[in-house]
Amino acid sequence: MPTNRPLSRRDLLKGGLTLGSGLAMANLLGFIQYRRAHAQDQPLRAAMSSAGLAGTWNAQGQESALYWADLLGVEVTWFDGEFDPAAQRSKFDQIATQEWDFVAVQPNTIGVLVEPIQALIDAGTPVIDMDTLIAPLDQLQSMGVLALIAPDNVFMSQSVVQKLADLMGGAGKISHIGGQPGHTGAQARGQGFLNIVGRYPDIEVVDDQPADWNVDTAAQLTEAVLNRHPDLAAIFADNDDMALAARQVVENAGLGDQVIVGGVDAMPPALEAIASGGLVATARNSANRIHGWAVVAGAYAASVGLEQARTEIPFFVLADGPAIFNEIDSNPDLAEEPWKLSNYGMSSIPGQLWLEDQYLF
């Protein structure tokens, strides 16, 4: 039946896309082309938030999100989570009272943002969960969150801790510096750590404490464990920022040749430290892809409508990434067959740095 209900802003966006796109919408590149052409006459508004912009991973993610937002004609208002669950919740209580074309969030702590995010979804707003869980997985789906774009945190930590264990010869003392206890990415990285060290009866975990992503706390924990265990062999930190802080303490103590350190995220400073021998390993958690893809998915859902987007965008999108070490596979016996060597016998770090600088990986 005909209705006199006034068209909402979302109705107008969907109508323009249906009338103007035609066959160009057959793929994602067609949508990007459409948005590039209509950014001025059909602007979008989005609210985005990450756990805390003081972290280099989060800051890189914001840069990538704003880059993609500019390409797609999206005006983003950023709400810094401040690495404080209560502060992020307060901001989401505010976000939920306003109209947005889409919302994307990396929560500080699981469960804290459920009520305001449910209110947004109930109002028809597409919500993308970035990197870590807003709520337990089954609840996340029942809430109606459009998509979870996240890495395999267990894989990343296991890759790095396995390298540490190998370099330790399967024996010795190791410590773990965790992230925020309620952060599901940190929980998964902690599980990956335990999965590996549990295989080695001669590896002793002498310290396992959260530093809440705070580099000063990570440094203090490192100083304390070195004082108690001057024969410490290795440190695994849940992110590169904390790993670099721990490494600096190790070097200041004159133990740079004894204590090996690994982190997660493959941020440029960590990659440079691996190239110079300061860190031994990291694994790429692609802030660029997680945040950039969230903007693309949100803009698409805002344009075609949430229900259609649900049929086209998978609920879970894996943003995978490699482990990165400081060794180069230079087996001279395979010099004439470099395709048999890891990374063709070259370092992957220059390419990784270039991709990150271009917001591609």
How open is the CA angle 352-259-282, to the nearest 5 degrees? 20
**What is the torsion angle, in degrees rounded to the nearest 10, for the CA atoms of residue 86, residue 90, residue 91 and residue 95?**
140
Tell me the C-alpha distance between 292 and 67, whole Å. 8
- The structure's pTM equals 0.92
More confident residue, 7 or 315: 315
- Which among 319, 318, 312, 320 has a CA at the least distance from the CA of 126? 312
Whether pLDDT at 1 is above 80:
no
Beta carbons within 8 Å of 303's beta carbon, 6+ residues apart:
13, 14, 17, 31, 34, 35, 42, 44
Whether pLDDT at 14 is above 80:
no
Tell me the C-alpha distance between 190 and 208, whole Å. 9
pLDDT tens by residue, 46-58: 999 999 999 999 9
Tell me the C-alpha distance between 218 and 223, whole Å. 9
Tell me the C-alpha distance between 165 and 287, whole Å. 27
Tell me the C-alpha distance between 303 and 114, whole Å. 25
On whether the CB atoms of residues 244 and 279 are closer than 8 A, the answer is yes
pLDDT tens by residue, 4-13: 444 355 554 5
- Which among 234, 207, 204 has a CA at the least distance from the CA of 220? 207
**What is the torsion angle, in degrees rounded to the nearest 10, for the CA atoms of residue 79, residue 85, residue 89 and residue 95?**
20
Q: What is the mean pLDDT of residues 31-39?
A: 88
- Domains of the chain, start order: 9-151+288-318 (3.40.50.2300), 153-285 (3.40.50.2300)
Tell me the C-alpha distance between 96 and 91, whole Å. 9
Whether pLDDT at 20 is above 80:
no
